[in-house]
Amino acid sequence: MTQIKNIIIAITLLTGLSSQALAASTSGVTNVSVRVPEFIVLHYYSNITLNFDTPTAEAIDEGNNSIDADWKGSASGNGLDANSLMNASLELDGTTTNVKLNNVWAVRGFSNSGNATVTVTVPSDKLQNGSSEITMSNVKVSDDTKSGKSITTRLNGISKRNATTGNIEMDLDFSNTTRSGSHTGGQYTITATTI
């Protein structure tokens, strides 16, 4: 019985030793690449309402005047002339008001260069309330470093927190504005393109 146990132990040892001696190992290297598509996201407002503050109402004393009147009630003499009126605190004669709409668009995404062009066009430059009109002109996009009808700006990847934000600048002409209230119909279009 002891002899059989010794034979079994010897066989077990030989089997264990021979399997270790026959073990082999090899490895291979896999190169991984990722193809990222060109992709762009444009954030914008589809409606913007500009609420101008109310200027102070003023009564401007234009001085003294002497008017000739007859006994039948007719009066004549020099009255107020538009060219000689004194200035009020709000004067827009022959001028435009420059407005900068801060952070009204943003872009993010991927492109071959990491950049995009952002362009603005104006399909409708007139805002109307009946016959009263406000005209938009000189509309530009800007990103706080560049400004123009079209600019090149960084995309900074797809993360929302790294998006490039930008502004719209425009001149508003109130010379044909005769009414208070909402003037509508103006429109600009922003286009973002990967480059």
Could you tell me if residue 190 is inside a domain?
yes
Q: How many domains does the chain have?
A: 1
Query: CA distances (Å), 99 to each of 110, 117, 118, 153, in order?
Result: 31, 22, 19, 22
C-alpha radius of gyration, the chain, whole number: 39
Per-residue pLDDT tens over the stretch 57-105 = 777 767 777 777 888 888 787 777 777 777 776 777 767 899 999 999 9
Could you tell me if residue 129 is inside a domain?
yes
Could you tell me if residue 108 is inside a domain?
yes
The model carries a pTM of 0.76
Query: From CA 55, how far away is CA 62, in angstroms rounded?
Result: 20
Could you tell me if residue 3 is inside a domain?
no
Residue whose C-alpha is closest to residue 63's, from 79, 76, 51: 79
Could you tell me if residue 164 is inside a domain?
yes
Q: How do the pLDDT tens digits run along the chain, 195 residues long?
A: 566 665 666 566 555 555 556 789 999 999 999 999 999 999 999 999 999 888 777 777 677 777 778 888 887 877 777 777 777 767 777 678 999 999 999 999 999 999 999 999 999 999 999 999 999 999 999 998 999 999 999 999 999 999 999 999 999 999 999 999 999 999 999 999 999
Residue 140, domain CATH: 2.60.40
Return the amino acid letter for 73: G
Alpha helices in the chain (DSSP H): 2-22
Q: Is 164 in a helix, a strand, or coil?
A: strand
Could you tell me if residue 33 is inside a domain?
no
Token pair for residue 156?
């900074």
DSSP state at residue 94:
T
Please give the residue range of the domain that contains residue 156.
Answer: 39-54+90-194
Query: From CA 101, how far away is CA 144, in angstroms rounded?
Result: 12
Could you tell me if residue 80 is inside a domain?
no
**N- to C-terminal Cα separation, the chain:** 87
Return the amino acid letter for 35: R
Could you tell me if residue 1 is inside a domain?
no
DSSP state at residue 56:
P
Q: Which residues contact 156 (CB under 8 A, 6 or more apart)?
A: 108, 114, 162, 163, 164
pLDDT at 89: 67
